[in-house]
Amino acid sequence: MSQRPGEGQTAGMAEKARPARRLGRPPRPPVRDEPISDIEAFWRLHPANGTGLNSFQAFRTLAFCLVWQHVGGSIEAVVGSRYCSKRSVFYRLEECHEAGFEPGCVTFEEGGPDWEGMKDDGIRHMKDAFAADLARRARRPWPIRQLTPQPRPDPDLEDNDSRV
């Protein structure tokens, strides 16, 4: 006596036999090779819902895309231009790919935003804020200074593309 598939199974057995839904983050969209404007790329990197990169990190990534296009679009060329380290190049490429575009496909409009300048302004503001935190701590009385943790620089300053 042969059984057809599904006959004689309990509901629990059928549930276990059903393929499971994949856990975790849904698959990211594929990286597209079509042109994308710099403003659209910014909003893909820094979406309004708060996920993704903060605005400084998005500025930094778009500045990288500009350098990527000027030096010929290769890892060795960007590192050879002394813009940033090889590790930073891989991080910026990963950020672009997670946002769904290639750095060479971003079209920068004439007279558009100065992404490099915005990145430099962000670095300057973070350095000023860190210096103010250090000065504020130095003004505190000695016992309170010993009890409070020393200010730490913003993690984005540690991955500063302006260093060589």
Counted domains in the chain: 1
78, 89 contact by CB (below 8 A): yes
Give a yes or no: residue 96 inside a domain.
yes
Give a yes or no: residue 163 inside a domain.
no
| 32 has pLDDT over 60 | yes
Give a yes or no: residue 120 inside a domain.
yes
Query: What residue numbers bound the domain in which 58 lies?
Result: 28-158
pLDDT, average across residues 134-149:
93
Amino acid at 39: I
Give a yes or no: residue 78 inside a domain.
yes
Q: Taking Cα atoms as reference points, which of 27, 15, 124, 120 lies closest to residue 66?
A: 120
Q: Within the chain, what is the greatest distance between any pair of CA atoms?
A: 89
Neighbours of 40 (CB within 10 A): 14
- Whether the pTM exceeds 0.85: the reply is no
User: What is the model's pLDDT at position 4?
Assistant: 61
What six digits make up the tokens of 146?
Answer: 């010993």
pLDDT, average across residues 106-117:
91
Kindly indicate the confidence band of residue 15, based on its pLDDT and cuts at 50, 70 and 90.
Answer: low
CA distance 76 to 53: 25
Is residue 137 exposed (0-12), middle (13-18) or buried (19+ Cβ within 10 Å)? middle
